[in-house]
Amino acid sequence: MLTVSTLAQDRPNVIFVMPDDISHNAFSYYKKNGPRTPNIDALANESVRLTDFHVSPSCSPTRAALLTGRPSDVVGVWHTINGRNMMRADEITMADVFKENGYATGLFFKWHLGDNYPFRPKDRGFEYVAWIKGGGTGQQPDYWDNTNNNANIWVNDSLVKMTDEDDGIKGAFTNNFFFNRAMEFMDDNIEKKKPFFVYLPLGTAHAPHVTPPDARKGASAKTATIENIDKNMGRLMKYLDDRDIADNTILIFTTDNGGGSDQLRGGKGSNYDGGTRVPFFVRWKKGGLGGVGKAREVTPLTAHIDWLPTFMDILDLKDVPNRPEKLKIRGKSFKPFLDKDSSNDPIEYKNRAVIINDMWTEFPEKYKKLSVKKDIWDGNTITNKWRLIRNSADSNWELYDVLVDEKQKVDVINNSANDAIVSELKEEYEKWWQLVDERSDEYTRIVLGNDAEPETDLHAMDFHGTIIWEQDAVKKGDKGSGFIAVEFDKTGTYNFDLRRWPKEIENETTLTSAGSGVALPIASARIKIWNGDTIYVDQTKKTNPNADGVKFTLKNLPKGPAFIQTWFYNASGEMEGAVYYNYVTLKE
């Protein structure tokens, strides 16, 4: 039984570990001839395992849904780039709730919900932040030339060079670094006798894969990376034991999207079970969840949107004051399913459906890559696990009973006996779509000129309308131009510094030099700023090929929303590369 009545005097710590782009086949618990993961396997054998736990099919949507308890599309996140990975600024996060309840909050490694104010983790409830920008090492907003074994990392706004630390694992590697920072954060709060919420969303094992220094002979870079995650999980579990806090720490391990499985259809990006169903282990001995010899499985449908309300339920966390109705938590607590007493399982939870969607579009598209999940119960027995699928408005509906057809090979949509459940699931989707559509035309806007971020670097990854998401594209000089949605915090004069290369390598490059890639014959630069039908500025300047960038000082830009678009041109007036980095400051 959950011992939540004692928690006011002895609040548990919470650690949420979520590696990237891997799933069942990555762990020897599920695949005996897969990567060697004895520590994660041991955790699984001491945990309550959610066997039908679902996330979104890709990075940012999973993070947005998990942190808000609301569907990712409803909070403005239905892509991983193009500004559609930024969770709306008015959303309330899990970190906000933990912080409101006296917890110390820390984020370690991958955020992927916006790199600028007001979307950064420190703007969203996290007090301690150690992170990389963008969605992974080597992505366009990340510190230049970072890899998982050679990186400069932002720790509470200070740049820290990753080194080989005395942590028991050979060499320097991002996983080691971020677990080390998490343990330092925990040590600090143990000393303060303050409970902590540690959010450890790893950026591994997302591509590109590099071989960690501790790799065993013969292991591929990806396999060695997974095995490095396992070693760090072993270190973490030993740390909890050594600090005598293991029994009263809620330790969670899951992954952020499907990664392919022998048993499930689809992988990352798929709206079939292989795209969204992932391993989930939770251990909290003092709360009656797992422990040696006490592992068990929870089979009802659960999802990422459920964890915020579940934490609030089992830890008696109060919500932030005056939560607006439009930001209502949509997930449901599954606390009653975590004990062994089936008599307290609420019928409203049993009857709910979960819609998971991941469109990768500029604006939401109805019926794009949808899935609706629902369990059917007969008393305390699940008789069906339905999954309704549609890939686009031009494709057919599909229906699978995953309880008996785990690989989703038999589409039973045309069986008339299923007409009622098909109608019900379609209706659930329509209600969900109404929530998405209410704010579907809104842009998430980077705020310029606010004291919280004196200099804003507008990144090409956030362009609407074109795709430039990795540093290799910068090196190759990939062409592209798109607008970025912004908001000027104050009316005033703003400086814009349009660059091909980032500031961190300005001593090694010029606007037209090859740097570590291809030289571009940039002869002029253009910037356009507008809102609606009103054009505030549209200026073009010739370049100094030996300068770092092209600078514009633009006066009387009005407070409020706007769009910014930039271009580089060659001497013939043709577009050349892109303004990959645009540094903006308010002139005092």
Write out the H or E segment, with its range, that includes residue 436.
helix 419-437
Q: Per-residue pLDDT tens for 555-575? A: 999 999 999 999 999 999 999
pLDDT computed for residue 261 by the predictor: 80
pTM of the model: 0.97
Q: Please check the confidence at residue 29 and state whether its pLDDT lies above 70.
A: yes
Which of 4-8, 180-184, 205-209, 357-361 has maximum average pLDDT? 180-184
Can you tell me the mean pLDDT for 174-193? 98
pLDDT in tens, 6-15: 343 489 999 9
Q: Tell me what the mean pLDDT of segment 335-362 comes to.
A: 93
d(CA 316, CA 293) in angstroms, rounded, equals 27
Question: 456, 459, 449: which is closest to 581 by C-alpha?
Answer: 459
Q: Which residues pair with 534 in a beta bridge?
A: 531
First to last CA, the chain: 60
* pLDDT tens digits, 238-294: 999 999 999 999 999 999 999 878 889 999 999 999 999 999 999 999 999 999 999
- Please give the Cα distance from 78 to 58 (Å, whole number): 9
Q: Give the C-alpha separation, 171 to 71, whole Å.
A: 39
State both tokens at 166. Answer: 């005395």
User: pLDDT class for 340, splitting at 50, 70, 90?
Assistant: confident
